[in-house]
């Protein structure tokens, strides 16, 4: 009897310990790139944010495409990239169907989070103060992107 209780107690305690982990890595998000760093994983799967002005992609001016660091899906064309001054790589539009969005309320602000349509990994937030015809500004973590130049 006592042993049974102990077993139940141990297993529920374990489940409790694993809960945050399970929550952070929900089923829709899957690690595909096994070489991701912990920092990348924290952003892609835990909706973290990199330090502003830390990404080398801010200074990337070549023509090409930006791909998901996790699954490799093509997300942005260099034609849509612009300098927003925010410290994060910014784009006025994504490639069609590249992302899905969800409204979040982190830090008491209503923001629209977007994630890779293919693998579910978080990339950034989209705002309505962009320079293009749609007025969109995709504020993307540089660590979530891999740039492949056309030439
Ligand atoms: Zn992806």
For 36-72, write each residue's pLDDT tens digit: 999 999 999 999 999 999 999 999 999 999 999 999 9
Of these residues, 68, 116, 119, 139, which one is catalytic? 139
**97 alpha carbon – ligand 1 mean position (Å):** 12
| 144 is a catalytic site residue | no
The reply to whether 18 falls in a domain is: no
Phi then psi for 76, rounded to 5 degrees?
A: -135, 150
The reply to whether 131 falls in a domain is: yes
The reply to whether 26 falls in a domain is: no
The reply to whether 16 falls in a domain is: no
**114 alpha carbon – ligand 1 mean position (Å):** 11
The reply to whether 118 falls in a domain is: yes
Could you give the CA distance from residue 141 to residue 28 in angstroms, rounded to a whole number?
Answer: 20
- Residue 121's pLDDT band (boundaries 50, 70, 90)? very high
**32 alpha carbon – ligand 1 mean position (Å):** 8
pLDDT of residue 11: 58
Q: Count of domains in the chain?
A: 1
Q: Which of 72, 67, 83 is nearest to 139 (CA)?
A: 83
- Residue 6's pLDDT band (boundaries 50, 70, 90)? low
**10 alpha carbon – ligand 1 mean position (Å):** 37
Q: pTM for the whole thing? A: 0.80
Structural domain harbouring 47: 38-149
């Amino acid at each position: 009897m006592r042993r049974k209780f102990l077993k139940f107690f141990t297993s529920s305690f374990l489940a409790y310990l694993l809960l945050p982990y399970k929550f952070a890595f929900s089923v829709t998000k899957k690690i595909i790139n096994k070489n991701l760093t912990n920092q990348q994983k924290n952003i892609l799967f835990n909706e973290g944010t990199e330090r502003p002005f830390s990404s080398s992609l801010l200074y990337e001016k070549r023509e090409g495409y930006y791909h998901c660091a996790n699954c490799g899906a093509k997300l942005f064309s260099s034609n849509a990239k612009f300098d927003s001054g925010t410290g994060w790589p910014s784009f006025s539009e994504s490639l069609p169907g590249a992302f899905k969005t969800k409204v979040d309320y982190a830090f008491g602000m209503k923001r629209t989070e977007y994630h890779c349509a293919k693998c579910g990994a978080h990339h950034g937030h989209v705002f309505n103060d962009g320079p293009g015809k749609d007025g969109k500004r995709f504020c993307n973590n540089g660590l979530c992107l891999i740039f492949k130049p056309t030439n």
